[in-house]
Structure formats: structure tokens, C-alpha cells
């Protein structure tokens, strides 16, 4: 299950699993974006190389205006960004760890 939509603040919210089967839908949505934007990944559970390709293609298209900013990135996806070198290409904010149980 994958969802992509604008929220009330104008950010784009990604939710679920962005795999090779869902990448064309994500690309079609992001192709409509015309300026720099924030992608909220707080509810994104998973991304594969197909999803990375969507982010990279969109970022390059929009870079003259500031590109994409990736926020609320979970630890696993943050690792993928690091392995891919995306941490040096994008502005990325990792999600805060949940507080420890009392």
C-alpha cells in the first residue's frame, strides 16, 4: 500500500511502501510539482532503488529552485540514503526516535 498526497501545509506526504510497482505513480505525482518542496516521510515504511530513482529525477529537475527536502526520515530509510550517497545530494532531516517506554 502506497499513498502520496499534499497536506495542509503544502508538504507532500508519502505513506507505506514505495517499491518498483508504485514508483510510476509517485513519479507521475511528483512530475506535477513545479517548485521546491518538502517530502514528509514520517509514514513511509520502505523505499527501494526504484523509489530512489523517483526522488533523484525530481530533485534534479527542481534543483535550480532548491530541489526536494526530505523530512521525518526513519532510521532504515536513512541508512539507504547514506549507502546511496543521497545524504550528500539532498537536505535530509531524520525522524526523532520515539521516547523510551516508562
The residues of the shown chain that bind another protein, judged by CB under 8 A, are: 17, 19-21, 46, 48-50, 52-54, 56-57, 59-60, 63, 76, 79-80, 83-85, 88-89
Q: Which CB sits closer to another protein, 13 or 54? A: 54
For residue 31, the minimal CB distance to another protein (Å) is 13
Q: Which CB sits closer to another protein, 7 or 20? A: 20
For residue 69, the minimal CB distance to another protein (Å) is 14
The CA-based diameter of the chain, rounded to the nearest angstrom, is 47
Question: Which of 22, 20, 90, 85 has the alpha carbon at shortest distance from 55?
Answer: 90
- Kindly tell me the burial class for residue 69, based on how many C-beta atoms sit within 10 Å of its own C-beta (0-12, 13-18, 19 or more): middle
Q: Are 91 and 62 in contact (CB under 8 A)?
A: no
Q: Which CB sits closer to another protein, 9 or 65? A: 65
CB within 8 Å of 88: residues ≥ 6 apart: none
For residue 93, the minimal CB distance to another protein (Å) is 19
Amino acid at each position: 500500500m502506497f499513498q502520496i498526497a499534499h497536506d495542509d501545509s503544502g508538504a507532500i506526504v508519502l505513506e507505506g511502501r514505495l517499491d518498483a510497482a508504485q514508483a510510476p505513480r509517485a513519479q507521475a505525482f511528483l512530475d506535477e510539482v513545479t517548485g521546491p518542496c518538502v517530502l514528509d516521510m514520517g509514514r513511509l515504511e520502505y523505499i527501494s532503488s526504484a523509489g530512489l530513482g523517483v526522488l533523484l529525477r525530481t530533485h534534479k529537475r527542481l534543483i535550480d529552485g532548491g530541489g526536494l527536502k526530505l523530512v521525518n526520515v526513519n532510521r532504515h530509510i536513512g541508512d539507504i540514503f547514506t549507502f546511496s550517497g543521497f545524504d550528500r545530494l539532498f537536505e535530509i532531516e531524520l525522524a526523532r526516535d520515539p521516547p523510551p517506554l516508562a
